C-alpha cells in the first residue's frame, strides 16, 4: 500500500515537471533575455537605480533557471540526476543556487526600497536613489551571498542510504542543517519578502501623489511605471517564496521521520512549492508587459526600431555596397 502511494506521488511529480516546469523553463529563458535586452538598451533604464536592480535580478533569475531548474527537470522528468553522477556538481549546484536565489530576492527588495525613496516628498531621501549606490549595494550583497554559499560546497556530499542502498546529495553537517532551517528558510527567506511588501505599499502610496510634486515629467512617468512593476512583482514573489521556504523548512525538520508515507508527502509538497517558486523567476517580463503600457511600447521600440530594423538597414547597405563593388569590377 505504501509503495503504491509513493509511486503515485512520484508519477504526479513527473507529470508536474513535464507539463508545468518545462513551460516555465522556456518562459523564464525568453522573458529573462528580453528583460536584459530592454533594460540594457534604453538609456532611461540604464540611468535608473531601480531599473539597475531589476536588471541584476533578471540575470540572477536566468542563472537560477539554468543552474537549478534545468537539473531539476532532468532529475524528476527524465530520471537523470547530474548531482549523483558528479560530486562536484552536487556541491556547486547547491552553492550557486543559494547565491542566485538570495541575490534575486535581495535585488527585488532593494528595487522596491529604492522606489520608496524615489517617490518620497523629502528631497534628501530622493538623493539616496543613485546608480553609484546601487552598484555598491549590489556588489556588497553579492559578496555576502557568495560567502554564504561556501558552506554548501563544503557540507553537501554523496550519502548512501543504509535502508535503500541508494546515493543522495545531502548535507553532512548538523549545525549547517540547523542554520538552513532556522537561519535561512525561517528568517532570511521570510524576512525579505515581508520587507518588500511593506516598502512596496509605501512606495505605491507615495506614487499616488507624484502629480502634486515638482518633478520632471519623464522622471514622474518613470517612477510611476517602475513602482507598479515592482509592486506587482513583490506580490507574486511573496505568494511563491513563502510556501517554498515553509515547505523546505518542514522537510529539513522532519528529515529523521521513519514514516515513508509522511516523508513522501512532505517531499511532494516541497516539490510543488518549488515549481511555483520557479514561477517567480519566469514571471517578471510577463508581469511588466501586463501591468505597464509604457513597458509594452518600450519593448516594441527596442525590438523593432533599435534592433530588427537597424539590422535590416545595415544588411541592405552591405548588400548595396557589395553590388556596387561587383558592378565596378
**Residue 207 bridge partners (DSSP):** none
Choice among 110-119, 121-130, 269-278, 292-301 with the minimum mean pLDDT: 121-130
Structural domain including 30 reads: 1-299
Residues 17-53 have pLDDT tens digits of 999 999 999 999 999 999 999 999 998 898 899 999 9
Residues of the chain with pLDDT > 70, as a percent, come to: 88
Tell me whether residue 324 is in a domain: no
In a domain, 310, yes or no: no
What pLDDT score does 103 carry?
A: 94
pLDDT at 207: 76
The answer to whether residue 146 sits within a structural domain is yes
In a domain, 111, yes or no: yes
8 Å CB contact between 281 and 65: yes
306 domain residue, yes or no: no
Say what the pLDDT of residue 186 is. Answer: 82
Please count the residues of the chain: 329
C-alpha cell at 272: 510543488
Q: Once rounded to an integer, what is the mean pLDDT over residues 82-89?
A: 81
142 compared with 88, residue with greater pLDDT: 142
Q: What is the pLDDT of residues 137-156, one digit of tens each?
A: 999 999 999 999 999 989 98
The CATH number assigned to the domain holding 279 equals 1.20.1070.10
Could you tell me if residue 159 is inside a domain? Answer: yes
Q: Would residue 192 count as lying in a domain?
A: yes
Spatial distance between the Cα atoms of 95 and 147, rounded to a whole number of angstroms: 10
CB 269 within 8 A of CB 199: no
Which range among 67-71, 97-101, 189-193 shows the weakest confidence by mean pLDDT? 189-193
Q: Tally the domains of the chain.
A: 1
Categorize the per-residue pLDDT at 313 as very low, low, confident or very high, splitting at 50, 70 and 90: low
Residue 315 lies in a domain: no
Amino acid at each position: 500500500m505504501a509503495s503504491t502511494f509513493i509511486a503515485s506521488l512520484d508519477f504526479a511529480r513527473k507529470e508536474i515537471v513535464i507539463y508545468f516546469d518545462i513551460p516555465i523553463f522556456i518562459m523564464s529563458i525568453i522573458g529573462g533575455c528580453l528583460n536584459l535586452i530592454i533594460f540594457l538598451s534604453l538609456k532611461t533604464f540604464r540611468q535608473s537605480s531601480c531599473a539597475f536592480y531589476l536588471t541584476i535580478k533578471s540575470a540572477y533569475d536566468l542563472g537560477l533557471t539554468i543552474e537549478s531548474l534545468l537539473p531539476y527537470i532532468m532529475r524528476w522528468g527524465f530520471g537523470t540526476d547530474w548531482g549523483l553522477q558528479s560530486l562536484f556538481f552536487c556541491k556547486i549546484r547547491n552553492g550557486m543556487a543559494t547565491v542566485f536565489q538570495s541575490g534575486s530576492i535581495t535585488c527585488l527588495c532593494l528595487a522596491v526600497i529604492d522606489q520608496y525613496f524615489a517617490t518620497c516628498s523629502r528631497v534628501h531621501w530622493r538623493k539616496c536613489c543613485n546608480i553609484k549606490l546601487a552598484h555598491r549595494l549590489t556588489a556588497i550583497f553579492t559578496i555576502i551571498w557568495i560567502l554564504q554559499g561556501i558552506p554548501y560546497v563544503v557540507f553537501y556530499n554523496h550519502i548512501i542510504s543504509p535502508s535503500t542502498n541508494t546515493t543522495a546529495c545531502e548535507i553532512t553537517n548538523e549545525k549547517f542543517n540547523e542554520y538552513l532551517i532556522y537561519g535561512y528558510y525561517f528568517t532570511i527567506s521570510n524576512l525579505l519578502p515581508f520587507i518588500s511588501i511593506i516598502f512596496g505599499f509605501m512606495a505605491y502610496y507615495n506614487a499616488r501623489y507624484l502629480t502634486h510634486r515638482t518633478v520632471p515629467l519623464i522622471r514622474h512617468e518613470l517612477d510611476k511605471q517602475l513602482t507598479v512593476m515592482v509592486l506587482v512583482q513583490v506580490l507574486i514573489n511573496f505568494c511563491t517564496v513563502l510556501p517554498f521556504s515553509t515547505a523546505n523548512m518542514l522537510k529539513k525538520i522532519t528529515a529523521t521521520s521513519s514514516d515513508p508515507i509522511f516523508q513522501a508527502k512532505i517531499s511532494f509538497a516541497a516539490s510543488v512549492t518549488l515549481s511555483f517558486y520557479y514561477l517567480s523567476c519566469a514571471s517578471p517580463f510577463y508581469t511588466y508587459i501586463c501591468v505597464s503600457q509604457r513597458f509594452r511600447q518600450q519593448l516594441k521600440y527596442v525590438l523593432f526600431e533599435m534592433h530588427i530594423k537597424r539590422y535590416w538597414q545595415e544588411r541592405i547597405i552591405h548588400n548595396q555596397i557589395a553590388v556596387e563593388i561587383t558592378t565596378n569590377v
